[in-house]
Amino acid sequence: MQVGQMDTTFWNENTGEPRVWKLTSAVRRRAGGKGPAHRYLACCLSYYDLGEPLPDHSRLTRIRARYGVEVFRRFFEAIVDQCQQAGLVWGKELYVDATKVNANASMESVKPRFAVDAHLRELFATKGKEEPPADGEPSLPPSEAGTSPAGAIGVEMTPGNQGQALPTAACEPTVVVPVPLPALLDDAVREDLTRTNGQRHDWTLQVGKPDREVIRGTYRRMADFVVSTTDPDATVMRTKGEGRHPGYHTHYVVDGGKARIITAVLVTPSEVMENQPMLDLVFRTRFRWKLWLRQATGDTTYGTVDNIVALEHEHIRAYVPLPDFDQRTPFYGEREFQYDPEQDAYTCPNGALLRLETHRYTERTKEYRADAATCNACSLKEHCTASDHGRSIRRSLNEDYLDRVRAYHTTEPYLKAMRKRSVWVEPLFAEGKDWHGMRRFRLRLLWKVNCEALMRAAGQNLKRLLKKRGWRRRPWPEGAANDLFSFSLLASWASRSLVW
């Protein structure tokens, strides 16, 4: 009879035997439920000492809330360090992709945001009124008597956690004071860098939380109108064959080596485009493990001007397809017009010039326009434009970088990277969804799902590390402390500090 699931990565210090961390239902029934007999059998089978306390679910939940995301990220990075020391990280190529993961919430929990906000204001306005203490109990101070509406919706009110203390401030993103680099910089340059970095939105430090104060044009986010009362950080997304569902995006950065080690993980709300956290993830991977990158590869979603310019400026080849806007219109596309850098003008298929009209610095483009009279008298106007003011073309101020990327598209290294991308990251997502519960997050709130994603990615890397070292050549407990590559040492540290 199977007694339980063996934890072969964690040994008892006294007996040197692996522990059983989860008993089967049949063994629990024979042991008489949750009484002393069950505890004795659990200690015998799991090699825990009789006086050693067994893990408690509520205590482990509070440990997660107390430590926050940073400790989980440190554990994930420790695994990547082990993989790099074992020679599994190549460090020349990075592949970036993201997948949709359902949140632990249903569409029935999605309500209009204005109704939820009004309900919270009314609820906490009523609770905020002072009530006379009953039976001589002392009244709480104002700082402990009430909770802000924004924080109240983020707490899961279930029968198991009612009456428990709220998570501490360690759960929220913390502001880390940067360490000055040993470089000689002028005060003006250092001040400019400090101001620029302060204005930049760091996706890693914010744990995937978007900056909702940034609004582009008339676009409005779905989260500005609806919110899930079960998981307020999850946003509504479209899924294949399942309609709409609250969910998240899980972003992976995978090394180009044969082992396919995951070097960076981040979870964002599903409303965040896949290309937005790319630069932070790639540059963090580059500097964290001191990699000399030659290329970064992604799909068409990552082919934005900002991503291309930033990568090419750092001498990293941006192997990304560019969106073909010419196919979205029945008129002549930009490829039909010839650009003359000496005159800074375009020539149309009929030989007319489109001269520079204006600069659009907010959009970082230049606009060229042909003479209206020439266009209206042209025989190709019906194939060129429907405007009576002449045909116009916009050219990016960073068009040189875009032309460089277009030149990559005909080279064999780019075609090889595209073929490799199709079979590099997606199998890791399939592995996580089929074998590691990645189809749906178990936890709620953004910082918690990031903890879950980091542990899942660490497990995927551990499998590849064990395949390199050999599954049957595990060190014994007395030798684990001396083995720098010992998986058991990491698992022991994780079990005592980061256990779920």
Give yes or no for residue 20 having a pLDDT over 50: no
pLDDT at 88: 95
Tens of pLDDT, residues 274-319: 999 999 999 999 999 999 999 999 999 999 999 999 999 999 999 9
Mean pLDDT of 248-261: 96
pLDDT at 21: 44
Residue 169's pLDDT band (cuts 50, 70, 90): very low
Give yes or no for residue 168 having a pLDDT over 90: no
Residue 17's pLDDT band (cuts 50, 70, 90): very low
pLDDT at 8: 44
Tens of pLDDT, residues 88-97: 999 999 999 9
Q: What span, in angstroms and rounded, lies between the C-alpha atoms of 340 and 353?
A: 10
Domain boundaries, the chain: 327-400
Mean pLDDT of 438-442: 94
33 HSE (CA, 13 A, CB side): 2
Q: Is 163 exposed, middle or buried (0-12, 13-18, 19+ CB in 10 A)?
A: exposed
Give yes or no for residue 445 having a pLDDT over 70: yes
Mean pLDDT of 413-435: 94
pLDDT at 219: 74
Mean pLDDT of 220-241: 89
* Higher-confidence position of 80 and 328: 80
Q: Quick one: angle between helices 399-408 and 305-313, nearest 10?
A: 80
How far the first Cα of the chain sits from its last, in Å, is 27
Q: What span, in angstroms and rounded, lies between the C-alpha atoms of 131 and 313?
A: 63
Give yes or no for residue 491 having a pLDDT over 80: no
119 with 126: CB under 8 angstroms? no
368 with 395: CB under 8 angstroms? yes
Residue 203's pLDDT band (cuts 50, 70, 90): very high
Query: What does pLDDT average to over the chain?
Result: 79
Calculated CA dihedral for residues 410, 412, 416, 418, nearest 10 degrees:
-10
Residue 51's pLDDT band (cuts 50, 70, 90): low
Q: What span, in angstroms and rounded, lies between the C-alpha atoms of 109 and 236?
A: 11
pLDDT at 319: 97
365 with 395: CB under 8 angstroms? yes
Q: What span, in angstroms and rounded, lies between the C-alpha atoms of 208 and 188?
A: 31
Mean pLDDT of 216-222: 75
Give yes or no for residue 409 having a pLDDT over 90: yes
User: Encoding tokens for residue 206?
Assistant: 């914010």
Q: What span, in angstroms and rounded, lies between the C-alpha atoms of 133 and 294?
A: 68
Q: What span, in angstroms and rounded, lies between the C-alpha atoms of 369 and 142?
A: 64
Q: Is 353 exposed, middle or buried (0-12, 13-18, 19+ CB in 10 A)?
A: middle
Tens of pLDDT, residues 455-473: 999 999 999 998 888 765 5
Long-range CB pairs of 165-173 (<8 Å, 24+ gap) are: 165/62, 167/65, 167/66, 168/65, 168/66, 170/65, 170/66, 170/67, 170/68, 171/65, 171/68, 171/69, 171/447, 172/68, 172/447, 173/69, 173/205, 173/206, 173/207, 173/209, 173/447
* Higher-confidence position of 149 and 203: 203
Q: What span, in angstroms and rounded, lies between the C-alpha atoms of 315 and 362?
A: 26
pLDDT at 142: 43
Give yes or no for residue 133 having a pLDDT over 60: no
Q: What is the pTM of this model?
A: 0.74
363 HSE (CA, 13 A, CB side): 11
Give yes or no for residue 87 having a pLDDT over 80: yes
pLDDT at 329: 84
Q: What span, in angstroms and rounded, lies between the C-alpha atoms of 492 and 487?
A: 9
At a CB cut-off of 8 Å and minimum separation 6, what does 106 contact? 230, 245, 246
Give yes or no for residue 134 having a pLDDT over 80: no
> What's the farthest any 2 CA atoms get from each other in the chain?
96
273: left (phi over 0), alpha (psi -120 to 50) or beta: beta
Beta strands in 167-261 (DSSP E): 226-228, 235-239, 243-255
Q: What span, in angstroms and rounded, lies between the C-alpha atoms of 127 and 124?
A: 5
Query: Considering the chain, what percentage of its residues have pLDDT values greater than 70?
Result: 71
pLDDT at 449: 95
pLDDT at 188: 86
Give 227's strand partners: 111
